[in-house]
Amino acid sequence: MRPSSILLALSAAVGAIAHQVEVPAEVPRNIEDFKAKHPTSDPRNAARGLSSRSGPLRTRWTMPTTAALYLPKDSLYMIGKPLDLTFLDDVQIHWDGEVKFTNDTPYWQEHAFAHPFQNSLMFWKWGGRDVKIYGDGVLNGNGQRWWNEFAGLEILDPTNTYLRPILFYGENLTNFEMEGIHEKDSPCWTNFIVTSKNVAFRDVMCTAESNNATALPKNSDFFDSLNIEDLTVERVWVNVGDDCFSPKSNATNVHVDTMYCNGTHGQSMGSLGQYAGEMSFVQDVVIENVWLLNGQHGARLKTWAGPDIGYGFIDNVTFRNFWQANNEYSAFIDSCYFNINSSTCADYPSKMNITNILFENFTGYTSGKYGTAVAKLTCSTNPDAVCENIEFRNFTVKSPCATDAEGEDAKPIIICDGIKGGIGMDCIPAASDEAKAALKKKCSVPLAEIDPPF
């Protein structure tokens, strides 16, 4: 899949189906447009060369607790050992060079930092107060070898022992900002922020592109979190093989505004409820002004089912102003996440409540993988799991499988199961004849081609 200009990608919809997606004129058409439209901060507060010694292959650098650090353009900082930076206080990093990790996979699997959540590894750890990273630099995870060696495996398989490091990990951060950086080729998740408050990512680019068609980037989410409060994500350009955005357990007061996502799994809440006996929640979230191309789903909520799961809730989440081209379901509630078979889900349904969810101003078209079904909302059958006040407003996503010649029976449909009350639009059960017929009307459309690449 080749990423490309947002304009060309969305205008390609005109050739695929007979409706137009309105694209605002100010949307960046490529990564150069994105950088020009969203420049980084004025670097006057950074002290050039402070506490850094650079070289073409390897760098040793020490971080002052209170100061500024400058990583100049055209300098390479190669990191080959775990680095603990959890002690920072009032630090600014003007980052114009490239920081790159070695790809010695046996060494990192043996020596990297670890976190128990989904057996995560980390190259380094950041923490402290009032930390700002900004500039036109690159954070390079050197992920190709990791992807090659991980091919065919699953991160959530309990037997998996091939663990891959996260590119940027922060814990106990207060007042953290990243601005302008290009995060590139992470072996696993790109960002994982834990037990932190007042965190912001602005004008950041995130890409993961493989040169091996049999080993594509996997689990390379742009953003994941655990126990985070007051999160802002603004103006981000993402081309990865997994979630464009995905806060996990215990996230509150989250605002995402303006993301351009190609080849992703969508804007996701979760997954949640994975661990037995543990409570998890996501609450008070607004995600708006999102362009999603050539991906799996659009707006997604995902919770676990099974005999050994946790409980909790997703509450007060708004997905607003989503433009889509060639995604599977444009809106998706999955209460049986990660390859759990239907009989297990029926016997041990999810214990997560899902309430007060709004899908507003959705336009574009699906991939046709699910025929004329453009959204699917499947709530838990657990009698103690509440699923209510799920609302659609101004939802006009089309299916490429619905043509005028097929008439009314081919209209786009929304599949709903287990929701208390209506959603503001027609919604039919998955077991109905109408839903089964809609799902059989499979078709396909070309990739929303984008050139020049991200």
CB 92 within 8 A of CB 80: no
pLDDT number for residue 451: 47
Higher pLDDT, 270 or 23: 270
pLDDT number for residue 48: 44
pLDDT at residue 404 is higher than 90? no
Residue-wise pLDDT for 115-157, tens only, equals 999 999 999 999 999 999 999 999 999 999 999 999 999 999 9
CA pair distance 105, 108, nearest whole angstrom: 5
In this prediction, residue 448 has a pLDDT band, given cuts at 50, 70 and 90, of: confident
CA pair distance 96, 125, nearest whole angstrom: 20
pLDDT at residue 4 is higher than 80? no
CB 320 within 8 A of CB 290: no
User: Residue 326: how many CB atoms within 10 A of its CB?
Assistant: 27
Q: What backbone phi and psi angles, to 5 degrees, belong to 405?
A: -65, -25
pLDDT at residue 159 is higher than 70? yes
pLDDT number for residue 278: 97
DSSP 47: P
Mean pLDDT of 374-381: 97
Residues in CB range of 4: below 8 A, 6 or more apart:
30, 262, 448, 449, 450, 451, 452, 453, 454
pLDDT at residue 447 is higher than 90? no
pLDDT at residue 25 is higher than 70? no
Burial of 170 (0-12, 13-18, 19+ CB in 10 A): buried
Which amino acid is residue 93, in one-letter code? I
pLDDT at residue 163 is higher than 60? yes
pLDDT at residue 36 is higher than 90? no
The pTM of the whole model exceeds 0.75:
yes
Mean pLDDT of 227-242: 96
Mean pLDDT of 371-384: 97
pLDDT number for residue 339: 86
| Strand arrangement, sheet containing 113-115 | 113-115, 120-122, 165-166
CA pair distance 137, 204, nearest whole angstrom: 10
Mean pLDDT of 358-386: 97
CA pair distance 176, 274, nearest whole angstrom: 28
**For the chain, percent of residues with pLDDT exceeding 90:** 80
CA pair distance 30, 291, nearest whole angstrom: 13
Mean pLDDT of 396-416: 79
CA pair distance 348, 376, nearest whole angstrom: 21
Q: What is the mean pLDDT of the chain?
A: 89
For 88-125, give one letter per residue: b (16+ CB within 10 A) or e.
Answer: beebbbbbbbbbbbebebeebbeebbebeebebbbbbb
Mean pLDDT of 95-122: 98
List the domains of the chain with CATH numbers: 6-440 (2.160.20.10)
pLDDT at residue 453 is higher than 60? no
Which amino acid is residue 330, in one-letter code? S
CA pair distance 256, 233, nearest whole angstrom: 5
Residue-wise pLDDT for 304-360, tens only, equals 999 999 999 999 999 999 999 999 999 999 999 998 999 999 999 999 999 999 999
Angle (CA) 406-295-32 rounded to 5° is 120
CB 246 within 8 A of CB 224: yes
Residue-wise pLDDT for 201-224, tens only, equals 999 999 999 999 999 999 999 999
Catalytic residue annotation: 242, 265
In this prediction, residue 61 has a pLDDT band, given cuts at 50, 70 and 90, of: low
In this prediction, residue 268 has a pLDDT band, given cuts at 50, 70 and 90, of: very high
Residue-by-residue DSSP string for 186-216: -SS-SEEEEEEEEEEEEEEEEE---S-TTS-
Go through the chain and tell me how many residues it has. Answer: 454
